[in-house]
Structure 1
Amino acid sequence: MAKKTVAKKKPAKDNAQDFSKYVRRFWMLFAGGVFAFFFMFLLASWGALGEMPDHTILENPKTFLATEIISSDGKTLGKFYLDDNRTPVDYEELPKQLVDALVATEDIRHYDHSGIDFRGTMRAIVKMGRGGGASTISQQLAKQLFTKQVSSNKIQRVFQKVREWVIAIRLERQYTKEEIIAMYFNIYDFGNNADGIRSASRIYFGKEPKDLELKESAMLVGMFKNSSLYNPRPHRNPEGVKNRRNVVLAQMNKYEYISEQLKDSLQKTELDLNYSPESHREGTATYFRAYLDKFMKDWIKKNPKPDGSTYNLYNDGLKIYTTIDSRMQEYAEDAVARHMPRLQAEFDNQNTPDRNKTAPFLDLEPQEIKDLMNASMKRSERWRVLRAQGKSEKEIVASFEKPVQMSIFAWKDGQPSEIDTVMKPIDSMRYYKSFLQPGMMSMDPQTGHVKAWVGGMNYRHFQYDHVKQGKRQVGSTFKPFVYATAIDQLHLSPCDTIPRQQITIEAEKYGNPEPWTAKNSDGRYDGFLTLKSALGNSVNTATARLMDKVGPEPVVDMAKNLGITSEIPAVPAISLGTPDISVYEMVAAYATFANKGVYNKPVMVTRVEDKNGTILYQFTPETKDVLSAEVAYTTVNLMQGVVESGSGSRLRDSWRANQTLYKEIITGYPYELTNPIAGKTGTTQNQSDGWFMGMVPNLVTGVWVGAEDRAAHFKHISYGQGASMALPIWGMYMKSCYADEELGISKDNFEKPANLSIEVDCAKWKGNGDEGTNPADELDGVLDF
């Protein structure tokens, strides 16, 4: 029988020693872990785990700030930026519900920790991240400002997380809790060029952050999770954005920021976006902003920073304070948008293939059209780019004949739209030449401040500015310069009479190459008429007689003194408006008449500030005396006749003539403008350019309408005159301005100078009679006709 062996029991003392060994190891490991943890923090603070911001950088984190363009009424017209469309706001400008939504969703213990939420961190570790992340707002800000997203390498990710913790703690020491919240809202990229909360609220809802509603605030906070995934734009992820917004509302209810009833009601609502993209080719005052871009670049070249470096228009956060009034700019753009599609529809109707085989051109032979298109090709951006690439002329011309996919501009139901199509570039050029274009500028004559600037219909497709860049024949709008010269030299009255008969100015006089004869558009050459009636009805022969009396040189000098810088030949034909002049020049010149003979150079920028509010530029007015107040007032009185009984009379409610004929294009009628208005219509010889210059005591506005090429024009003057092409825009614009009483647009009479020696009240004039049957000697020898 085998002998049994019995295991001996270890003494209790030995068991205790073995257990204590494990305890010692545990505490050694724990202490080592704590040491490693803090040592990693120490390494991170030394920059061993990656570059760390120093104290100076923490005080001034480097962020790119867009330059902001501010209207005279304090609205943002647009911004200049390359990558970052960011304009910071202070904490005080953030609505309470926006801050509450952020704290409830991203960091409920924001006001209790010092940069790291250890409680949340332990929860995330225990649940392996399934219970949500543990990044505080301070950590997320640190990540946005100073760290970059690394690859999926877990060790690198740990190192980055430690760096974020260290930076978060430093941020907490450097800034208040409120400042950290504001910085986080300002730094985040909400997509679609919406960098920072201010751009986001403007782009997605068309309002400033302080005006955001609760559900709008919740949507924007929801985008912090992933602005690319939760993109609210149509055809992106609107349903996902709505769901994420509802999560934010639920979080706000969970932490008792809002009631459950309010949460439930808001979760049922739609996003109600007001998507207003902010790009250089879209938004308000696009043509003015393009002008401003060049103005600022020229200014920057001449004005370095104090340290000698150059200002960056797109990154330095400059503020440009302009004279543009956002309300008046809106009314101007609206008037153009209402009138142009109707005018274009009539133009297109007259240029259908069965009516005009050479559409949109009139009176051109095939070779002339070919030459015109060839010249346009060589001026095009496509030609310039291909030439810079070293392409031969033959290759470039061939490229214009190759169909390509493109988006083209079109009017659809009276609204601008785009059509995706395949077209030869040469055909698209001809297509675009069929569009009529507007140019419009409005200015306060007493200060020179430009209040509205519309350089075209659609900057995305038509980038040529017809306010300052474009110059076109001004037609009869030049005539007041002739009349003003004659009044100045000969002391004429609006009530003086003048023969209507035809006049020919001989070749020898004024160095003419050949005799020049002025003709009246209505074919009438009988009898006499007052100067007021002559200008009001734009009688060419009367203007030519005044030109013959005073001579071209004094008229050119008058125009130059009125601010016209374009070339004006000293020949009699200029009396009928043959020179090419810009809307910008014409408005400033007419403003001199309204400003009692004092010329004010147009002002667009009042001051420029840096991001800290330091003034870098402040404008200095440029003025000069051009006319006596008496001559200026008399000229204005003459132009009042244009609206009272001449070609501008349809601005009055009493106008009814040919209403049926023009109903397709006369937009906004009746205008019901019964207050004193001075103005002048202008129409060029072949109906290619239509003008209207109109003024009241504190606002002068000029409008031009025409096609890119003069060969594209209306066939008949009924539609191709300034009163049909340009005047409706002026009428609608002024009607809107008067409806907005806060603008303070004057309805008063033009101020009469004291001791006026020129009689302007024709009822008191001895001739007495607008059509002037009086003989020439009624002028008492002032003029020898």
Structure 2
Amino acid sequence: MILKKIKNPYLRYTTILLLAFTLIISLFILSVYVGVWGKIPSKKELTTLKYQQASEVYSADSVLIGKYYLQDRQPIPYANFPKHLIDALVAIEDERFYSHSGVDYKSMLRVAFKSILLQDKSSGGGSTISQQLAKNLYPRTKRGKFNLAIAKLKEMFVASRLESIYSKEEILYHYLNQVSFGDNTHGIESASLKFFNKHAKQLTIPEAATLVGMLKATYGYNPRVFPKKSTNRRNLVMQAMYKNGYINEKQKDTLPQTPLQLNYRDFNYNDGIAPYFREEVRKQLLKWTKEKNAKGEDLNIYTSGLKIYTTLNYQMQLLAEEAMQEHMKKLQSDFEKSYGKNAPWLTNKSIINKAVKQSLPYKKLKALNLPEKQILDSLNKKKRMTLATWDKDITIQASTIDSIKHYSKFLNIGSLAVDPKSGEVKVWIGGVNFKHFKYDHISQSKRQVGSTFKPIVYTTALEQGIGPCTYFSAQEVEYKNLKQWSPSNSGSKDEAYLNYTMQEALSKSVNTVAVKVLEKAGIKNTIEQAKKMGISTDLPNEPSLALGTAEVKINELAKAYTTFVNNGKHSTPFLIKQIATSKDSIIETFKPQISKEAAFSNETNMIMLELMKATINTGTASRIRNSYKLTNDIAGKTGTTQNNKDAWFVGVTPKLVSVTWVGLDNHEIGFKSTSLGQGANAALPAFALFLQKMNKEADFNYITKAKFKKPTDAILQDLDCEPIKKDGFLKRLFKNPNKKKRKEFKRS
């Protein structure tokens, strides 16, 4: 009827077109609303917003040392958002945030006018914070102008529903915990920790403005990548804050002069403190969640936002890593110089070929069934690559085989420090560089333990009633029933005339005596004693056990040594104390595992400590006193294996047991000389430097100033004897020091 009244045909057709257009647009909007182009989440769904949360790993002294995540996000309560952070966000992103109900139609008209009529590409998107939240919760998946229109409408509907469910504070809470800051960093807390190494509640106005400024273009305004652009954007945010009355004129003039100062900390898998420790925690968590989920739980270490409270002491780990780097850098240099141009990783074809065939690049090509020649040709092709050194990374033209040779020469380390009373791991260094050497020498590696096994042999002897002042000849013996096996010492031939007490023999690490003590104590008894002390690895039922031919993990050896300062009871090293939800509701608590029965008597305990103190004071580890000037109460044992393949040192203090191993991943390569590769030179310094650093920190006085219990007068009397006796004149007259004594080893 209305159309008939319009006489002008052009006006009538225009009206018809407008009505048709309006109808089409209305039907289109309705179709989006009812879900023709994809379902819109209901209010019920929106009341239970869930998003991935990173699990956080904390040291025992409450330092965040790492995260496990698919998206790096750490939600925090609204109360932890500083006011100026909220003000910056609202000022630059949605200045009418508190007055609209999810969609700012005034802003949309402004954007439409500028974009469509004036072709102004800098007009912005017109999306409110609520719409941006909707976009982040339900990301766009399709491109194109038509799909963009659908997505925009969906976001408007979702934004309106969000506003009907949540208060403005709750909208801001979800937005700031959800939004991406690039580099897989989500939420303001994670962004604050990454770029400024501080919690969001500690952000200054310029810092908050910097992070808020990134939201327009997370890469283009990344302050680490584009500091100048980021600074300009930050200042624009603060200008908007002034315009909206959030900062005063003085602040508007002075704050932009603040230099951009980042304290960038990327929670990277390869980098940061204690990477080997964090990896071992991750492995244990995966096992734990699998067991929990089998019982009906729904836990994921990458998305559930767990909080893992560990035993690691952050400051101790830091000092230990510093000590390790100082020592290993120098040792690596000495090691390479000792071989010179004839280094086995350069000249020994057998060693090189084995290393190549064990490498991942070779195995990948081999899996493709390529001919050997083609594989080697491929691995020999030069290309530009970066190789790590102790000084700095170098970029050169090199082949994959060159790279294998380069990394084959690196000495590695495993170093563990535990609280002997509880088994809590305080320091965990699984290698020299986690980025290049993923293999963990604490949890994965088994190496011959050398003379660090001797204290177990001597403990057995004492438990079998052999007195500490029993003398044993140092003369070399050839055992007829052991294929003429003949263990020797590194001393002079005149040592054949000497007889050592157990204290002196242990402190000087006399091999010939250790075998004789084992013979008298009994191999089976020694293996049984080792089990009582916490060694679960199968030990060789051979006389060479006395010299440490058994291959044992570092954490297992540490477990055995805890008995000496834990009243004969071993404590099992453990890493995790508690696991909690993101809201700190405890899910699981892990208690120390301490053996119920003592592995030996109190008398044996006191004697063994005195024997191992002698090792530090006058024996093979005396450089602890002489070179490093350490006066702490320390007991311990050095260890060096055959052909200088493995160097060991175990340091025992009243409050800390520390085990250090140094060697090469390739078992075929050892140190060139014993002077370089012995435990006292290759392993001991890492402990000594670490303890020196701890001595300077008053916080560690409870460890560094702790004292061993004084032995009783009866024990001191048992140890009161000449450490060495020389054979009498007649015995020396008829003994040829160059001739080995021949006998059978008595097994018992």
Q: Under a length normalisation based on structure 2, what TM-score does the superposition of the two structures give?
A: 0.87
Tell me the equivalent position of 2:742: none
Q: Distance in 1 between matches of 2:300 and 2:369?
A: 32
Q: Distance in 2 between matches of 1:114 and 1:761?
A: 89
Q: Distance in 2 between matches of 1:695 and 1:437?
A: 22
Tell me the equivalent position of 1:3: none
The 3-state SS of whatever aligns with 2:127 is: coil
Change (3 A) 1:124 1:398: closer
Tell me the equivalent position of 1:212: 203
> Is the counterpart of residue 140 in structure 1 residue 132 in structure 2?
yes
Opposite residue 67 of structure 2, the aligned amino acid is: K
> Is the counterpart of residue 99 in structure 1 residue 90 in structure 2?
no
On the 8 A contact 2:414/2:429 being kept in 1, the answer is yes
On the 8 A contact 1:479/1:576 being kept in 2, the answer is yes
Q: Distance in 1 between matches of 2:251 and 2:644?
A: 62
The 3-state SS of whatever aligns with 1:428 is: helix
The alpha-carbon deviation at position 71 of structure 1 amounts to 2.3
Tell me the equivalent position of 2:560: 589
Tell me the equivalent position of 2:615: 642
Opposite residue 726 of structure 1, the aligned amino acid is: A
Q: Choose which of 553, 567, 578 in structure 2 pairs with 1:607.
A: 578
Q: Distance in 2 between matches of 1:761 and 1:258?
A: 80
Change (3 A) 1:348 1:253: farther
Q: Choose which of 715, 728, 749 in structure 1 pairs with 2:707.
A: 749
**Cα-to-partner distance string for 1:571-627 (whole Å, 9 max, x where unaligned):** 222212222222221111111222111112221223334556565544354332322
The alpha-carbon deviation at position 140 of structure 1 amounts to 0.7
Q: Distance in 2 between matches of 1:181 and 1:724?
A: 59
Q: Choose which of 582, 588, 603 in structure 2 pairs with 1:630.
A: 603
Instruction: Answer with 122-131 or 18-27: which moved more.
Output: 18-27
The 3-state SS of whatever aligns with 1:490 is: coil
On the 8 A contact 1:41/1:166 being kept in 2, the answer is no
Superposition pairs of residues 468-479 of structure 1, within 5 angstroms: 468-479=443-454
Q: Choose which of 46, 67, 72 in structure 2 pairs with 1:85.
A: 72
> Is the counterpart of residue 174 in structure 1 residue 161 in structure 2?
no
On the 8 A contact 1:360/1:713 being kept in 2, the answer is no
> Is the counterpart of residue 151 in structure 1 residue 140 in structure 2?
no
Tell me the equivalent position of 2:56: 68
Q: Distance in 1 between matches of 2:177 and 2:264?
A: 20
Tell me the equivalent position of 2:734: none
Opposite residue 517 of structure 1, the aligned amino acid is: P
Superposition pairs of residues 590-739 of structure 1, within 5 angstroms: 590-611=561-582, 615-624=586-595, 625=597, 626-652=599-625, 655-656=626-627, 670=628, 672-739=629-696
The alpha-carbon deviation at position 324 of structure 1 amounts to 1.9
The alpha-carbon deviation at position 680 of structure 1 amounts to 1.3
The alpha-carbon deviation at position 441 of structure 1 amounts to 0.9
Superposition pairs of residues 741-780 of structure 1, within 5 angstroms: 741-743=698-700, 744-751=702-709, 759-760=715-716, 766-767=720-721, 769-770=722-723
On the 8 A contact 2:362/2:379 being kept in 1, the answer is no
Q: Distance in 1 between matches of 2:19 and 2:72?
A: 49
The 3-state SS of whatever aligns with 1:760 is: helix
Change (3 A) 1:231 1:562: same
On the 8 A contact 1:492/1:758 being kept in 2, the answer is no
The 3-state SS of whatever aligns with 1:111 is: coil
> Is the counterpart of residue 544 in structure 1 residue 502 in structure 2?
no
The 3-state SS of whatever aligns with 1:157 is: helix
**Cα-to-partner distance string for 1:70-126 (whole Å, 9 max, x where unaligned):** 3222332222234x2223222233333333322222223333332223343343344
The alpha-carbon deviation at position 260 of structure 1 amounts to 4.1
Tell me the equivalent position of 1:553: 524
Q: Distance in 1 between matches of 2:48 and 2:37?
A: 22
On the 8 A contact 1:67/1:79 being kept in 2, the answer is yes
The alpha-carbon deviation at position 679 of structure 1 amounts to 1.4
Tell me the equivalent position of 1:435: 410
Q: Distance in 1 between matches of 2:217 and 2:717?
A: 73
Q: Distance in 2 between matches of 1:385 and 1:290?
A: 25
Change (3 A) 1:280 1:551: same
Change (3 A) 1:252 1:679: farther
On the 8 A contact 1:551/1:572 being kept in 2, the answer is no
The alpha-carbon deviation at position 49 of structure 1 amounts to 4.3
Q: Distance in 1 between matches of 2:605 and 2:374?
A: 58
Superposition pairs of residues 322-721 of structure 1, within 5 angstroms: 322-353=310-341, 357-360=342-345, 369-412=348-391, 417-490=392-465, 492-493=467-468, 496=469, 498-499=471-472, 501-504=474-477, 506-508=479-481, 512-521=482-491, 525=495, 526-611=497-582, 615-624=586-595, 625=597, 626-652=599-625, 655-656=626-627, 670=628, 672-721=629-678
**Cα-to-partner distance string for 1:116-145 (whole Å, 9 max, x where unaligned):** 233433433444465544322111111111
5+ long unaligned stretches in structure 1: 1-16, 657-669, 776-783
The alpha-carbon deviation at position 725 of structure 1 amounts to 1.6
Opposite residue 344 of structure 1, the aligned amino acid is: Q
Change (3 A) 1:211 1:385: farther
The 3-state SS of whatever aligns with 2:416 is: strand
The alpha-carbon deviation at position 558 of structure 1 amounts to 2.0
**Identity rate of aligned residues, in percent?**
36
**Cα-to-partner distance string for 1:32-58 (whole Å, 9 max, x where unaligned):** 999988876655443234321123431
Q: Distance in 1 between matches of 2:29 and 2:56?
A: 40
Change (3 A) 1:532 1:207: farther
Instruction: Answer with 259-268 or 447-456: which moved more.
Output: 259-268
The alpha-carbon deviation at position 505 of structure 1 amounts to 5.9
Opposite residue 695 of structure 1, the aligned amino acid is: V
What is the alpha-carbon root mean square deviation over aligned residues? 3.4
On the 8 A contact 1:52/1:146 being kept in 2, the answer is no
Opposite residue 564 of structure 1, the aligned amino acid is: I
The alpha-carbon deviation at position 226 of structure 1 amounts to 0.6
Change (3 A) 1:141 1:772: farther
The alpha-carbon deviation at position 676 of structure 1 amounts to 0.8
The alpha-carbon deviation at position 711 of structure 1 amounts to 4.2
On the 8 A contact 1:201/1:209 being kept in 2, the answer is yes
The alpha-carbon deviation at position 530 of structure 1 amounts to 4.1
On the 8 A contact 2:214/2:222 being kept in 1, the answer is yes
On the 8 A contact 1:351/1:360 being kept in 2, the answer is no
The 3-state SS of whatever aligns with 1:516 is: coil
The 3-state SS of whatever aligns with 2:387 is: strand
On the 8 A contact 1:679/1:695 being kept in 2, the answer is yes
Opposite residue 328 of structure 2, the aligned amino acid is: M
The 3-state SS of whatever aligns with 1:690 is: strand
Q: Distance in 2 between matches of 1:772 and 1:265?
A: 83
Change (3 A) 1:25 1:733: farther
Opposite residue 35 of structure 2, the aligned amino acid is: G
5+ long unaligned stretches in structure 2: 729-745
Tell me the equivalent position of 1:296: 285
Aligned length: 716
Opposite residue 478 of structure 1, the aligned amino acid is: F
Opposite residue 154 of structure 2, the aligned amino acid is: R
Q: Distance in 2 between matches of 1:646 and 1:739?
A: 26
Instruction: Answer with 523-532 or 642-651: which moved more.
Output: 523-532
The alpha-carbon deviation at position 732 of structure 1 amounts to 2.4
Change (3 A) 1:572 1:307: closer
Opposite residue 488 of structure 2, the aligned amino acid is: A
The 3-state SS of whatever aligns with 2:661 is: strand
The alpha-carbon deviation at position 633 of structure 1 amounts to 3.2
Q: Distance in 1 between matches of 2:529 and 2:478?
A: 21
Q: Distance in 1 between matches of 2:340 and 2:248?
A: 64
Q: Distance in 2 between matches of 1:468 and 1:44?
A: 56
Change (3 A) 1:500 1:262: farther
> Is the counterpart of residue 54 in structure 1 residue 42 in structure 2?
yes
Tell me the equivalent position of 2:236: 247
